[in-house]
Chain A
Amino acid sequence: MSKFKKKTNTATSIPTSALPDIIFMLLFFFMVTTVLREQTILVEQKIPQATQLQKLQKKTLISYIYIGKPKNPSLYGSEPRVQANDVLITAPDIVQWVNQERDMLPEADRGLITISLKVDKDVKMGPISDVQTELRNADARRVLYASTGKIYQD
């Protein structure tokens, strides 16, 4: 009568002998992609979202500046601060920091140094414009506003 007869007697167990290999493959993937963080970030970082993201080809040219409210307000206060490398700095120190970063690059690439501004969502434009003014003074004019991808609505 019906074509759909219940098949019985088939082996229902999935072969698990290849499981370790699959897990190892995953493991290697994550081992390769992992970047162990070499800095502790002292400021809050909730990166804003945007749609028009661009990716830079040469990662060595990027230096990072973190801006946000300090995570430890009892030590550093509650106003947004600027972090470069491992320490919180004030705006006038940025020129010196940029020059240090630039000296680490090969001579041919020094003009192409890009500063990635990792700015917390809640920061106001005031501190950011101060940082940008200093970057202009240091002649490091390529700036990347770090942001994460947003899903399109339309």
Chain B
Amino acid sequence: MARKKGRMSQEVNSGSMADIAFLLLIFFLVTTTIASDKGILNILPPKLDPNVPPPDIQKNERNIFNILVNANDDLLVEGEYRRTAEGLDKDIKEFVLNFGAPDEDAVALFNSLPASLQAQALRRPESSDNPGEAVVSIKTNRGTSYEVFLEVFDLAKKAYFEVYGERVGLTADEYRALTGDDEASKALQDRGKAGIPMAISIAEPDKIGGN
């Protein structure tokens, strides 16, 4: 008659389970690189058609906020020398919200802004006419380091996002986190940037200090 042999304990010894799990855990801890797909989004201008001359845009000098970064990573902001990019975001914000000579649309836009933003309109004649006209231009040399360029570009973006956020009652971070996936966040996004285009122009670098 067949007898069951196993009189001994049938359970697997689980005392070392934690150790095994620890080993696996440490392996995955070491190999993990949390994928980061974060970055600063930029839309490049379309390719120039060689047969069509580039459009000759007449823009008033006061509507362009010029930032030059040379091969030594020094900055020239609106003709003024600076060693670092610090504080550039505030200057760009002032420039965008200047409302120096608003036309009808811009007056309507100005009236739609919350009071905190209206208070920032300095109405200086030498700065931008209205946000729709304002352009931030960043020009580099070929020898400019990427890090400094990115810092300047980052600050320009920050200025715009702060304006957008303040307009809809959010911080810049919250505004940037809007995905635009659902109706509500899309509406907020559109309301933030309506009439204030993010006009950051990156000029072709000139051939100084690089190869």
A residues engaging B (CB < 8 A)?
Answer: 19-20, 23-24, 26-27, 30-31, 33-37, 48, 50-57, 59, 62, 79, 114, 116-117, 119-126, 128-129, 132-133, 135-137, 139, 141-149
Question: B36 contacts A148, CB within 8 Å?
Answer: yes
Instruction: Report B1-23 CB contacts with A as 1/0, cut-off 8 Å.
Output: 00000000000001001100110
Give the docked Cα–Cα distance between A57 and B205 (Å).
31
Give the docked Cα–Cα distance between A81 and B151 (Å).
22
Nearest Cβ distance between residue B172 and chain A, in whole angstroms? 8
B residues engaging A (CB < 8 A)?
Answer: 14, 17-18, 21-22, 24-25, 28-29, 31-47, 71, 140-147, 149-151, 153-154, 157-158, 161, 172, 176, 179, 181, 204-205, 207, 209-211
Nearest Cβ distance between residue B69 and chain A, in whole angstroms? 8
Question: B28 contacts A148, CB within 8 Å?
Answer: no
Nearest Cβ distance between residue B12 and chain A, in whole angstroms? 13
Nearest Cβ distance between residue A70 and chain B, in whole angstroms? 16
6 contacts between A and B (CB under 8 A): A23-B22, A51-B158, A52-B157, A54-B40, A125-B146, A143-B42
Question: A147 contacts B143, CB within 8 Å?
Answer: no
Give the docked Cα–Cα distance between A106 and B14 (Å).
49
Question: B176 contacts A56, CB within 8 Å?
Answer: no
Give the docked Cα–Cα distance between A35 and B36 (Å).
11
Nearest Cβ distance between residue B31 and chain A, in whole angstroms? 6
Nearest Cβ distance between residue B178 and chain A, in whole angstroms? 10
Nearest Cβ distance between residue B16 and chain A, in whole angstroms? 10
Give the docked Cα–Cα distance between A117 and B39 (Å).
9
* Top-8 shortest CB links A-B: A126-B142, A126-B210, A30-B28, A144-B39, A146-B39, A52-B157, A141-B44, A50-B154
